[in-house]
Structure 1
């Protein structure tokens, strides 16, 4: 049994993770531990200052002990905006602190996107973000810092995670279509609040290219940290290709 630890900042789309666990269809357990966002982040706003507070070390560290007791072998901070909001270097510091505190390999969803794009050999990507335009632009900057070329960025301008979590499959498909760019080798949907796991195959069939979504890449990153590779076609191209990423 391989136990994967995920630190999650809220409630939106958390039901994607049991679905992923089921689709993996092997001896893998996905343990989700919720961090306390604090009363000042009750709406989980997609805004600069709120993103920094969301990913503050003391908020993450408070949940680590519960995760350690679960027997997790690796931990991923399952918040894209709560990691890229710190910038490339700041996100590295965040992950190093998490690894030291947890006593196990650690990463975050933002780095998962960079590693997953490399895994697929997708040097050029398009981004479909629920976030407001300025926050979406910061995610694109993060990808570029990781050596991934961003050919297009589409912003849905959604203010909170709760609103993003309420979107259905039709809206997710529309977001992916709006983001797609002819020069992109993959389309990225970065919000962990967005329900995407059930429709990844449909997204890839519609666009004719790999689609990377936040909850999907988060679990893949945890597997990568534990040196596990699982063939799970129901989770898209990322889970059906031979590994090429250099660790």
Structure 2
């Protein structure tokens, strides 16, 4: 008699996302198991304009600014007022530029505003995922709007976590979020993943990638992690939820 109204959620998860980016919440909700709802809080990001417009490559200064007080601190406090079980930072590049220590400092600072709700950073979740999978040699692929320097910082980030980055590059695709085509992502990653890589990480929470995880894993024969997939995995663990998505990669089996 009554139609579903979204109120009967088993678990609600929050995500902090750049103000004009709909990618993180879209992919997270697409992957979320039945009964799990995703709720976003928007944080100003100087690298994006109205309707999600960006320059061909994002400058590093707005990436730094995204995780500095007060905006992200205020956003997490507001999101933590809702009944969410964990909050994710949906912004890969901030971890790249602030490095591991800066990422940890950010998580610690934000958790002071959440009344005990755990905060999960995307790249830290990916590192934990690689360790859970037993993968030590990884290939790193980033969005086309990450320039060579930002991609290099990403390789340094993972390298500092005792991972051997055997390949790293921005994907050679159109540098426009709306122009990203999953088959082209699949083809580019498949072509450029070296044999010695034990796993793949595709960075960028605003990069349309989760739809190709299963196909890449089947054809590459190794685990594929993406920013939003790793973030969801980390948030489910932080919220002590045993439920997992159907599909979307080997990561959800560990």
TM-score when scaled to structure 2?
0.84
Q: Give the conservation status (yes or no) of the 8 Å contact 1:124–1:184.
A: yes
Retained in 2: the 8 A contact 1:230–1:239?
Answer: no
Post-superposition offset of 1:203: 1.6
Q: Deviations over 1:175-225 (max 9, x none)?
A: 312441111111110111111222211121121211101111111111111
Q: Residues 179 and 55 (structure 1 numbering): CA distance in 2 closer, same or farther, change over 3 Å?
A: farther
Secondary structure of residue in 1 paired with 2:112:
helix
- Which of 27, 31, 40 is the matching residue for 1:16? 27
SS in 1 for 2:84: coil
- Alignment of 1:121 with 2:134, yes or no, is yes
The yes-or-no answer on 1:142 pairing with 2:152 is no
Q: How does 1:102-113 map to 2 (within 5 A)?
A: 102-103=114-115, 104-113=117-126
Structure-1 residue corresponding to 2:7: none
Kindly indicate which of the two structures has a greater share of residues assigned to helix: 1
- Secondary structure of 2:242 counterpart: coil
User: Counterpart of 1:188 in 2: which secondary structure?
Assistant: strand
Equivalent residue in structure 1 for 2:112, among 100, 103, 113: 100
**Counterpart position of 1:173:** 186
Return the offset for 1:109. 0.7
Return the alpha-carbon distance in structure 2 between the equivalents of residues 207 and 60 of structure 1.
38
How many residues align? The count is 235
Q: CA deviation at 1:159?
A: 9.4
Larger Rg: 2
Contact 1:117/1:123 (8 A) holds in 2: yes
* Structure 1 residue 60, shift from structure 2 partner: 0.9
SS in 1 for 2:79: helix
Question: Which among 177, 194, 199 is matched to residue 212 of structure 2?
Answer: 199
Distance 1:159 1:166, change over 3 A: closer
The RMSD of aligned alpha carbons is 2.1
**Structure 2: distance between partners of 1:221 and 1:168:** 26
Structure 1 partner of 2:71: 59
* SS of 1:88 mapped into structure 2: helix
Secondary structure, in 3 states, of the residue corresponding to 2:247? helix
Distance across 2 between alignment mates of 1:60 and 1:108: 13
Runs of 4+ in structure 1 off by over 4 angstroms are 157-160
Q: Secondary structure at the match of 1:102?
A: coil
Give the secondary-structure state (helix, strand or coil) at the position aligned to 2:113.
helix
Separation of aligned partners in 2, 1:149 and 1:88: 16
